[in-house]
Amino acid sequence: MTEKPNLIGLDFDELTAALMSAGFEKYRAKQVWSHLYCMGVNDFQSMTTLAKPAREKLAEHFSIDRPGISAHQKSSDGTQKWLLRMADGNEVECVHIPEEDRGALCVSSQVGCAMMCKFCHTGTQRLVRNLTAGEILSQLMIARDALQDWPEPAKEGVAKKPGKPGANGDVSSRAVTNLVMMGMGEPLNNYDNVAKALRIVMHPEGIGIGKRRITLSTSGVVPMIRQCGDELGVNLAISLHAVTDELRDVLVPVNRKYPIKELLKACREYPAAGNTRRITFEYVMLKDVNDSMADAKQLVRLLRGIPAKINLIPFNPWPGSPFECSDDATIQKFGDLVNAAGYASPVRTPRGRDIMAACGQLKSASQRK
Ligand code: SAH
Ligand code: SF4
């Protein structure tokens, strides 16, 4: 038996072509797209603007199955984590971080990661494979399903609610307002699939999460940074973590290929950054490794001229991790110095540590065959 092609992850033109090749008229694509991405419909029978024979024909030819959920955990702070099982059995994690008036979904781009950053749990798992665009996008769709975060279908005779998230005090419509490519994997090592998924997420007649509410984090795959800015225009986050090449070579090994100077040059030239949209520099606080005042001063010197915000991340431990988190007082002093130099330097409150859902704690048991 051959698998039916899955429609999730096709861009609008591809969806149109797929439907037309199965004998549907062109205008159907718009209807199906809207069911999939505005309403989050997960079976063809619920596509009620299509007549029954059309729905049956769709089901005959195509699938809209999402990955399965192998495990689900909820942290005491409200953070939720899902372990998702792809059609081939590989698994990745995806995390929802709710805040007062918004919520971010942290999405994975690869099964495992090849970058081997020393402080990262995912980095201890080898790269198994890239996720497809559909698998990247499905993480958001599954989270929306679980959080009941799809808009209510308009009822007959009842005026549609304004489309803005949170309108009418409707809490359920703002669970996922932001998307961060900060889960497992290096997104710029799987750029084409990530870009395709993000374009679908940004499509105004679908999910419609705009580029200003999407952040892509990279360990520093320099040649892809510019393309990402030109083509997607999303917010950029850089996993800097060290201010000398000597140390960064060890902590973030991709630095041996693309050293700090080249990385920061790409940041200076990032097309989608400016005074109103700053680049986030992530800096994990590792006790006695990268947390001295000299490091803080050098950080300020390095970032001169870049519209930047520095996110200090207390190190999140994992079983067997070779580091300790800096003391609170040290983090505070480090942040104060950076702040006094004119850079916002919030300390990222660890979320979901109790369920191993915090930054750098994600891992799945999937192995490279
Ligand atoms: N792979 C991408 C995105 C992922 S992770 C990247 O590396 O940029 C999100 C952030 O968490 C990155 O800055 C990553 O370096 C950081 N991180 C990894 N392990 C961590 C840990 N154990 N504690 C705190 N932050 C960690
Ligand atoms: Fe990969 Fe990011 Fe972890 Fe580095 S920090 S190993 S790039 S997931």
Q: β-strand 235-239 against 214-218: which pairing, if any? A: parallel
Does the domain made of 12-61 have the CATH classification 3.90.79.10?
Answer: no
Beta bridge partners of 81: 73, 95
Please give the full DSSP string across 263-313, using - where no structure is assigned.
HHHHHHT-TT-SSSSPEEEEEEEBTTTT-SHHHHHHHHHHHTTS-EEEEEE
| Token couple for 166 | 């949170």
Indicate which residue's Cα is closest to atom 3 of ligand 1.
Answer: 182
Question: In which residue are the tokens 């899902």 written?
Answer: 82
Q: β-strand 178-181 against 214-218: which pairing, if any? A: parallel
Question: In which residue are the tokens 């300790």 written?
Answer: 324
* Residue 86 Cβ < 6 Å to ligand 1: no
pLDDT confidence tier of residue 165, bands split at 50, 70 and 90? very low
Active site residues: 93, 359
pLDDT confidence tier of residue 192, bands split at 50, 70 and 90? very high
Rounded mean pLDDT of 196-215? 97
Measured CA to CA, the distance from residue 62 to residue 73 in angstroms comes to: 31
Tens digit of each residue's pLDDT (9 = 90 or more) over 262-316: 999 999 999 888 888 999 999 999 999 999 999 999 999 999 999 999 999 999 9
* Residue 299 Cβ < 6 Å to ligand 1: no
Residue 141 identity (one-letter amino acid): M
CA atoms within 13 A on the CB side of 69: 15
Mean pLDDT of the chain: 92
Domain ranges of the chain: 12-61, 68-355
Please give the full DSSP string across 99-143, using - where no structure is assigned.
-SS-EEEE---EES-SS--TT-SGGGSPP-EEPPHHHHHHHHHHH
Tens digit of each residue's pLDDT (9 = 90 or more) over 310-355: 999 999 999 999 999 999 999 999 999 999 999 999 999 889 999 9
* Residue 186 Cβ < 6 Å to ligand 2: yes
Relative to the alpha carbon of 124, which ligand is closest? 2
12-61 and 68-355, same CATH topology = no
Ligand 2 atom at shortest distance from the alpha carbon of 116: 6
* pLDDT value for 369: 67
Q: Provide φ and ψ at 247, rounded to 5°.
A: -80, -40
* pLDDT value for 153: 62
Q: β-strand 80-85 against 91-98: which pairing, if any? A: antiparallel
CATH number, span 68-355: 3.20.20.70
Does the pLDDT of residue 162 top 50, yes or no? no
Whole-Å CA distances, 358 to 51, 182, 283 = 45, 10, 14
Q: Provide φ and ψ at 349, rounded to 5°.
A: -65, 125
* Residue 217 Cβ < 6 Å to ligand 1: yes
pTM: 0.93
Indicate which residue's Cα is closest to atom 4 of ligand 1.
Answer: 182
Q: Are 179 and 139 in contact (CB under 8 A)?
A: no
Percent pLDDT > 90 in the chain is 86
